[in-house]
Amino acid sequence: MATRPEILAFPAALSEHVASIAQELAHGEQHKPHPLGPRVYVNGEELILPSRLYYRSELPASGGDPLDDTIRNCLGTRHHDGYLRERCVRALLHERSEWVIPFLFAMLGEYVVEIVLAIEAGLAPEVLPAWRHFAANNPQFLATTHRRAISYWSCYYRRRYPQLADYPALRLLQDALG
């Protein structure tokens, strides 16, 4: 059986756990390749986020295992359904595991401002130092996310936020820079 690309998005120590969950989420679907997205570094380990995932629209319940829930929600942030992405993001906002940060951070460079607003409203202030550490260790990802946020602001949100600095994704990126 080929390695599922979702495994690359998590630390190697979680690979068997992630493989099991990814297989379960894709149950009953033809396996189609998921485009690989950005490369990031967490604690010196390279992780590669999926660009988009095309699982069914609801994530099955985990049975109460918090680690399962966190992994499912991380994968859900890469789902093709924006409403599901938003639910998953909200579930991760107080998560302390450093490997969760890239999944939330990536949302700042996407086009659904409601998800960005949810992050801005719900992100626990005590996790900001970890976000700053992540941003400092991933300057290329930070720059790409910043460019994407500007592009989506220009394309979709310029009227709603006439000043670039007022766009929520850019406010959060500025916070991540410290």
Residue 127 has pLDDT above 50, yes or no: yes
- The DSSP letter of residue 65 is -
Tens-digit pLDDT profile for residues 67-94? 989 999 999 999 888 899 999 999 999 8
Residue 117 has pLDDT above 70, yes or no: yes
Give me 74's structure tokens: 């991380």
Q: Would you call 42 helix, strand, or coil by DSSP?
A: strand
Give the pLDDT band of residue 36 (cuts 50, 70, 90): confident
The pLDDT value recorded for residue 1 is 42
User: What letter represents residue 35's amino acid?
Assistant: P
> Which of 60, 111, 50, 43 is closest to 82 using CA atoms?
111
Angstrom distance (rounded) from CA 66 to CA 39: 26
> Which of 43, 33, 53, 35 is closest to 10 using CA atoms?
43
Q: Tell me what the mean pLDDT of segment 125-133 comes to.
A: 90
> Which of 92, 152, 24 is closest to 161 using CA atoms?
152
